[in-house]
């Protein structure tokens, strides 16, 4: 699967674009969990404090925002995201329709053609720029 993460500032300008792959993903729901976890880890690594994560997988966003724990095998990914969320009080997780998330989808498509994780800082890949 391809993972695409697009980070913009409050003015909509590109801060970071990340494209990477993950093998042996068995469902779209699991793929969306991995993508959100990668975005969370990236924002943690970069020290971003005021972040709104927007995802078009409503079930994943709802799971992160829920209070009930998920003790399933793949639920551990949600628990990892929640632990990061506890450390960052200004982080927010919101659902956005697919039409509003085209830049991340295009970046995920691009990731399928890359051999290694690739990160662009303050710019993005030419193939994704029209969607940002």
pLDDT by residue (tens digit) across 94-103? 999 988 889 9
In whole angstroms, how large is the CA radius of gyration of the chain? 14
| Coarse DSSP helix, strand, coil percentages of the chain, rounded to the nearest 5 percent | 45, 20, 35
pLDDT at 99: 83
- Taking 70 as the pLDDT cut, the residues of the chain under it are none
In this structure, how many other beta carbons lie within 10 angstroms of the beta carbon of residue 76? 13
Nearest Cα neighbor of 88 from 49, 119, 31 is: 49
Cβ partners under 8 Å of residue 117, min gap 6: 18, 19, 20, 21
pLDDT at 37: 96
C-alpha–C-alpha distance, residues 60 and 41, integer Å:
16
The pTM (predicted TM-score) of the whole model is 0.91
CB 90 within 8 A of CB 43: no
Q: Domains in the chain, start-ordered, CATH in brackets?
A: 2-126 (3.30.420.10)
């Amino acid at each position: 699967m391809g993972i695409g993460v697009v980070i913009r500032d409050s003015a909509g300008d590109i801060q970071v674009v990340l494209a990477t792959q993950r093998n042996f993903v068995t469902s779209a729901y699991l793929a969306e969990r991995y993508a959100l976890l990668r975005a969370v880890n990236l924002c943690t690594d970069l020290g971003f404090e005021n972040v709104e994560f927007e995802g078009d997988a409503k079930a994943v966003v709802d799971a992160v925002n829920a209070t009930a724990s998920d003790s399933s095998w793949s639920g551990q990914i949600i628990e990892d995201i929640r632990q990061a969320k506890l450390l960052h009080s200004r982080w927010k997780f919101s659902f956005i329709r697919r039409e509003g998330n085209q830049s991340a989808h295009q970046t995920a498509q691009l990731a399928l053609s890359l051999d290694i994780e690739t990160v662009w800082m303050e710019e993005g890949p030419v193939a994704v720029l029209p969607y940002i």
